[in-house]
Amino acid sequence: MILYKFEWAPSETIFKIGSFGLHYYSLMFVIAFAVGYYMMQKFYRHEKVSEEYLEPLFVFTIVGTLLGARLGEVFFYNWDYYQNNLAEILLPIKVTPDGIEFTGYRGLASHGAAIGIITSLYLYQRKYTYKPLLWILDRLGITVAFAGIFIRIGNFFNSEIVGLYSNSDFGVVFLNRGEVLPRHPVQLYESFGYLVVFLILRHLYWNTNRKDQTGYLFGAFFILLFGVRFIAEFVKESQGGFETSLGLLSTGQWLSIPLILIGFYLVRRAQSKAKSA
């Protein structure tokens, strides 16, 4: 008989010295950014764009990702908490009765990251005008889809952003949360979904002419990635936010809808320009 229930109780840290520790979640971020830089380097070399623009692009992307994701978590999901703990918004700490605990940058929202990246790259492109903003985003979207694979694995190690109870013998029991019933491993569902998105976008870049239709790949990225997010929300435990006032859908789904619609607009716009060229 195959067992479908899996008990999960990992340590969140790889090592710890005092109150400081290297979290698996942080390691996943490092891997994502490192591989993303390598992929962008391959794109630039393939298209004979100077690599001198990569280092500032890397810096702008990191700042935009972390700042946007953090502020998205604060204002989209947990303002009730952070309005009374302002120091924790931008600092990797948590204030407890026993003092200050180093937590790393946990509590990040992907929709906020999307806004942060676009904003930071708008400023980047204003300074480095070698290519249009959408050209850069077309290629960066591929790397962000890859990053999403590892970020959700990091969430799985942290036993956070969990799925609903499966009401069956299928699922993962998150022992670190003090639970005894299995939940849908929605973090792994999303991680696999983002892998599929990455492979599709990678195929479109290397095996079709879509990279020459400015805005197409970034539009496809929005449709596919936030489409995966929209579907995954159906088996994800509520993360809070404004869903209680709007009803019907979760906060994550409401935030995904405009990005999916923007994606369709960008794809249609790129196709129309290609036909008229």
Domain presence at residue 187:
yes
Domain presence at residue 3:
no
Closest CA to 181 of 165, 192, 194: 165
62-110 pLDDT, tens digit each? 999 988 888 888 887 777 777 777 666 666 666 666 666 665 555 677 8
Domain presence at residue 2:
no
Domain presence at residue 38:
yes
Predicted pLDDT at 256: 95
Domain presence at residue 148:
yes
Spatial separation of the C-alpha atoms in residues 171 and 237, rounded to whole Å: 14
Predicted pLDDT at 4: 79
Which pair of tokens denotes residue 208?
């079709």
Range of the domain at 178: 8-276
| Alpha carbon distances (Å) from 182 to 150, 163, 193, 238 | 23, 9, 21, 16
Predicted pLDDT at 103: 58
25-70 pLDDT, tens digit each? 888 888 999 999 999 999 999 999 999 999 999 999 999 998 888 8
Spatial separation of the C-alpha atoms in residues 62 and 71, rounded to whole Å: 14
Domain presence at residue 1:
no
**DSSP states of 240-254:** -SSHHHH-SS-HHHH
Domain presence at residue 149:
yes
Domain count, the chain: 1
**Residue in the block written with tokens 């702008």:** 60
Domain presence at residue 183:
yes
Spatial separation of the C-alpha atoms in residues 97 and 111, rounded to whole Å: 32
Strand partners, 13: 23
Query: H-helix or E-strand containing 21?
Result: strand 20-23
Residue type, 224: L
Find the DSSP H helices in 208-236: 216-232
150-193 pLDDT, tens digit each? 999 999 998 999 999 999 989 999 999 999 999 999 999 999 99
Predicted pLDDT at 1: 37
| Residue percentage of the chain with pLDDT more than 90 | 64
CB count in 10 Å sphere of residue 268: 13
